[in-house]
Structure 1
Amino acid sequence: MKNTNYDAFIFDLGRVLVDFDHNISAAKIAKLTGKPQEWLYQLFFESELTKLFDEGKVSPREFYAELKKLTGLDISFDEFVLIWVDIFSQKDDMFELVKCLKNDYRLVLMSNVNTLQFEYIRKNFPIIAEFDGLVLSYEAGAMKPDPKIYQAAISAAKTTPEKIIYTDDRPELIEGGKKAGIRKSFVFSNLESFVSDLNVIGVEINECMEAIKS
């Protein structure tokens, strides 16, 4: 049953709805190039190049070309894409939660993500189809914790910030949500702790979750 104090949820994607590991692609490219896996991980996950890609300021082929220069990678674009995107797995328990919430709340996905990886996720993980709004860094031109992307997510939620519940696995991004006015913002660690957080604020979903599992 809906708690009328809230109209919408904003969910992060990685490590909330899907798991991922950049070490999977880093290990494959390390074998192909002889570059250290740790260095490749940093390049894929924390570099300015990847930030620009996630913000949509570098195209997929430009990103691929720059990686070839930096790493000496000698494979086709299509072969690279297969390595780059095959790092995700859906969290089935969160899929069940999302389906429960879908009955009563507007659902928005807000993610720092690039177009190659998101299109792979959209195609392969049905949880994405449950969302009413998608706010993606490569389309918004900004990444969390930039205030611009939070405002885009609030707009997609079609309600006021105080009637939104937001969860993300990174505390600094939760702080960004609170600064944007989303007071009910929770650091995500696992389904059980998040359901507990929801129970505290009066959002009861245990009955729905049990019904889906049975």
Structure 2
Amino acid sequence: MSQLNPYEPRPPALIPPVPARAAQVAVVVAICLALTQVLVFVASIPARPVADRILQEGVSAAVGPPFYLIFSQISGLAQVLALGGFVAGCLWLHGSRAFAVAARPEILQERGPVWVWLGWVVPVVSLWFPLQVVADIRRGCVRGQQRSLGAWWAAWLVFVFSLFFRFSSSSGDGSFRLTVDMPLPVVEGIGAAAGVVALVLWIRTIREITAGQRELAERAAAAA
């Protein structure tokens, strides 16, 4: 039985479909998340002095001034979109990893498929495992010299830390308790800026990988 040359296009029957629809969903959810983060930052500016007055006067957040309630509601929406972004992004990465393994098996995928999902949430390893997963997938789908993913990953980590800072201030009733020493507009502003940067670079990476997948699929079909 003849063996396939790993450096030649694989037969189309051995390559799964390009996960183009999953890529589109991941891009749309990421855009919504970044825009929501910007809205959270804008709402946090008037919410901060209102929150200070709520704390000083002992007023419940449920009957507090509108700015505080708006900030809490938008922050809750950001939590939902963050979960949606995780699911959409991992679904796309899962399909893209399967495509890379089938199309170019000579490119080592250092992390197993389970880390496509767990790598983002397991403490400590979440600081670098997802970067390795994305970098390996890109190497398996995109030919030629590739730019560094460092800027995207740095912006993403800053964005995630800003989300953790906000979520850690969440109370049991779904509102947010802002303490006097919490520079919330500053944190949300940094998170918004980092989120926009990460979004632009993430979309660029998705499009780059998707274009590479389509090229590999076309080469395989032409060689069949």
TM-score by length of 2: 0.30
Larger proportion of strand: 1
Q: Which has the higher helix share?
A: 2
User: Which structure is richer in relative contact order (CA contacts within 8 A, separation 6 or more)?
Assistant: 2
Larger Rg: 2
